[in-house]
Amino acid sequence: MSPRNEARIREFVGELATFAVGAESMLSEAEQFPGGRKALLERFAGMMITIRGTAVHLGFENVSRIATIGEEIAIKGADLDSNSKLRKCIGSLWDVVTTVKYLIEHHDQETGEEQEILEHRLESTLGSLGGARTRVGQDEIEALLRSRS
């Protein structure tokens, strides 16, 4: 890898870590201020998309997968009325942030068994909240664009 590419990757990783810290702050705020929780969880979901967008540029598939689950759980959490479900949701989002931070810091290592177990647990939580929304790829987007015109 050229020094230029290495420097670019370091820059990306540094920024990715900053976003993870930002997501952590949002979650703390959502816990402390229930009134603004919906908006904060929606912003948290947006932050997860930003993290995912940066992670896919770097080829960090493990970060991308966890951020995707975090995004979906946050979207579900934003519309929850039940306090017990909300607590479970926020607890899961803490796991998401902690794992994302860990994976970014150790991006040169293979994903461990612990992360895989956590990923399954998060998927199970998401399933209990109603599951993920339908996602589309670039080809389906092209079809949607054509059907619009």
Q: Judged by CB under 8 A, does residue 143 bind another protein?
A: no
Q: Judged by CB under 8 A, does residue 114 bind another protein?
A: no
Q: Judged by CB under 8 A, does residue 57 bind another protein?
A: yes
User: Closest Cα to residue 44, out of 63, 69, 24?
Assistant: 24
Considering beta carbons, is residue 1 or 133 the nearer one to another protein?
133
Q: Judged by CB under 8 A, does residue 29 bind another protein?
A: no
b/e 78-98 (16+ beta carbons within 10 angstroms → b): bebeeeeebebbbebbebbbe
Per CB under 8 A, contacts with another protein among 77-96 are none
Considering beta carbons, is residue 37 or 43 the nearer one to another protein?
43
Residues at the interface with another protein (CB under 8 A): 8, 11-12, 15, 19, 43, 46-47, 49-50, 52-54, 56-57, 75, 133-138, 140-141, 144-145, 148
